[in-house]
Amino acid sequence: MTQAEVLTEIWRGDFLESQHMGHAVVCDSAGEIVESWGDPEKVVLPRSSSKMIQALPLIESGAADAAGLSTEQLALACASHNGAHIHTDRVARWLADLGLADDDLRCGPEMPSDPPTMKELLCSDSQPCQCHNNCSGKHTGFLTLTRHLGAGAEYIDPTHPVQQAVREAFEEVTGQDSPGFAIDGCSAPNFATTMHGMARAMGAFAGARAGQGRRADAAVRLREAMALHPELVAGEGRACTELMRAMGGAASIKTGAEAFFVAMLPEQKLGMAVKIEDGGTRAAECTIAALLVRFGVLKADHPATAKRMNAAVKNWRDVVTGSIRPAATLAR
């Protein structure tokens, strides 16, 4: 079996100090592998990198249009957001439009990662609510579909019509029967696939064009909503937001827990999937940045790139002691 490869290196001075092993696959819109590192058949949990797939039934069912969802709401359905007011206020209004409230969510409360909002809560001695959960947009999308289907309240149950629709869409776009699922941090099922399967799905999203059918139309709407509203997909300071801004709509990208990352490049009709075996976020961000540079949609000298690829490592006195670099095999 193909083994994981070194994808990111940590250098201290002239010494290679640490290495992050992982897998990366690039597919075209037909699902064929263009390039790969590591094992394309590695079975993985894509975690939040699969949110745009999980949102496909929201559009394909007609629920999004019946509810009059905006591009902002579609971006939030794909988001792992910081819990800032630009996220939580929109989720709260969306719930209210559905005649629902925070208690109808099943993602659980989470302290926001947005520093000003976190400080606001701590200084007021307030507790976070479920709208602060980074997955609250996805869950409000699930609730929108639940209402449209007339289904029960427990939409995170794997046997619920919402999750059955998600699994069907997931298996269709990955081109594989899922070997199973695990429960994600937000309590929803997260379906497993291979690295090739996930890259194939991203290639399908990248190659989709409006007017090619219900699935393609849904993929285009989600992909474009993410590119249009990068600040809603993640938040200030986050790799997804900063790199999408840097690319000016040339790619839509999404992170997932435990160092997963995906990208959709519509002009090139290419999809990417990255998984770092040790779960190191710094390596996932460096690797996806290197791949985006490799395929011409991200400038190597952009400040957002420089924060993650060939990024300086500094000590407590702000002295540069080393760097985070992509492996030589990723460079053109």
Q: What digits encode the pLDDT tens for the residues 170-199?
A: 999 999 999 999 999 999 999 999 999 999
List, in sequence order, the alpha helices (H) in the chain. Answer: 51-54, 56-60, 63-66, 71-77, 85-97, 115-123, 136-149, 161-174, 195-207, 214-228, 230-233, 239-247, 281-294, 303-306
Number of domains in the chain: 1
Q: What is the pLDDT of residue 68?
A: 98
Q: What is the pLDDT of residue 62?
A: 98
> How many other C-beta atoms lie within 10 A of the C-beta of residue 220?
18
Q: What predicted TM-score, i.e. pTM, was given to this entire model?
A: 0.97
Distance from C-alpha of 241 to C-alpha of 308, rounded to nearest angstrom: 13
Show the low-confidence residues of the chain (pLDDT under 70): 1
Do 48 and 305 form a contact (C-beta atoms < 8 A)? no
Q: What is the pLDDT of residue 331?
A: 83
* Structural domain containing residue 179: 5-330
Q: What is the pLDDT of residue 11?
A: 98
Q: What is the pLDDT of residue 2?
A: 82
Q: What is the pLDDT of residue 1?
A: 55
Do 250 and 268 form a contact (C-beta atoms < 8 A)? no
* Residue 310, domain CATH: 3.40.710
> How many other C-beta atoms lie within 10 A of the C-beta of residue 149?
16
**Cα dihedral angle (57, 60, 62, 63), rounded to 10 degrees?**
20
Distance from C-alpha of 235 to C-alpha of 75, rounded to nearest angstrom: 12
List, in sequence order, the alpha helices (H) in 1-70. Answer: 51-54, 56-60, 63-66
- 3 state DSSP class of 43: strand
Q: What is the pLDDT of residue 144?
A: 98
